Chains A and B, each alone.
Chain A
């Protein structure tokens, strides 16, 4: 670990703190409907689609609209990918995407997962990338933020189940947040050197005289929404490690900040909408502490490197001449600190973009991304998804610990009883059911084992990571697992769908129920939800629920691998 590395991590943290309030204030204005400067586009959209922007929907209608929208757009994408061969903007003449691949891709992009079991540059036409995948990058992000805002509204209001208008929230989020921010960001990325064109792929002769094909395309525009919407689906297979996607340390920094921009802003929105700004900051703090612990662990593990290398007399110390540590699978222009930071950010936030290969991290370095996702993607989390996931955890914390102050549990004055806790537990239960269930199937079925490139605990980690990543709607891959088979495309696609909707629907129901509750007056006898004690408690509940669920699986994957590495054994 170097002072320079730490400085960059701390600089990132400070900027993150600074952007939270302004972003939150802007989002509040957007979702309260105070901004009208794009009204000339907004109003016709409502008119054409027959939306009454003044309608306040019951949570069931909100959830229904969200499911309908997701299902319809998923089907369109499936059909478009299948028919890619006859559709325009296909200079490389890619054929239609095969059945399960198309299903997995449609499901994955609709759910903001963007798990890619294919190489973008050899599978997807420009048409598919721009009209389908890019559309979902915007739509799935807008839906996610809308859900988070609706859930927060339900907590803050007393409105008999009414939590806003799904269509209006989705349109506003897209128009006022995602599109304008993406335009600015794309321009910044182009300025840094990311490419943006519709050219045929280039054939070049390398210095050694070999022929190489360079993939081209409208990269910068997709790059912007990939990070902003915590989508993570790269234009190229190498994702943000590719110099055309993420050319410089500055573009790298910008990418990481933009991933956390909306999730961090939502904590401020939470504080404002429930009229307890300190609670918003308490949630921010809990997220930040978990983030910082993650990046510290990953940075430590990667900077320490592989003891087997050191034992063979290889110099793994950092110096002016070399970064030291474990540089396998990392880009030299980012180094260890920024690779560890990026890996932490992208998995905290269910983004899934990568600037280094997590598969090549040391066992503990690779454990960090895995655990980040298994904690439920609540450390800032995916756009919107992090917030509503965190609220489920907050309600769980309040329920478990709230009794200890001698009152029945209440969250911001609203009683948490069986209806509410049932919804929380449905969402919490879905994770082990899908992640552990599918992993258990995959590690014994020949179809599952066929996709493995590594054996032993590392191979186990790869499978566990795949289902963790898809359920968590993260989409980052541990690599090393061939996910394009019929078996994996099917199960991973299902995992993304359950991971998305088995959390959203209970979260909306919870919000609806809470909006029906009368508000109990606050007093010194009330469970505090803005104190440092609460922050600690929230972190403990997140860690314990995550750890208790996945500890046995982790013990058989990265943990045993770590001990084996220390005992000089590799997989």
Chain B
């Protein structure tokens, strides 16, 4: 269940950014989690709710973009979708496949609420 410690580090990162910006709260967090990143988005969402309790991110809506895995063949250079690391090139059957997309794990952006009239 590394999703919990991941959720805590996300809360840490977005809170410190939001404080830097003088935000009253965080209303949205956009994450990019590649399909090969080793993170279950559903499990992360579940943990995030607990991790964000009592923080600026408590009310934040998590939006998760999940880029597909793409491999590039080391022999013939063909690019093709992969669902896991043991991919085989559909063109030349080589196993020398380099992952070029799908391992991303980023906090893309946060949306903060500036509390002026309150």
Asked if A and B bind, the verdict is no
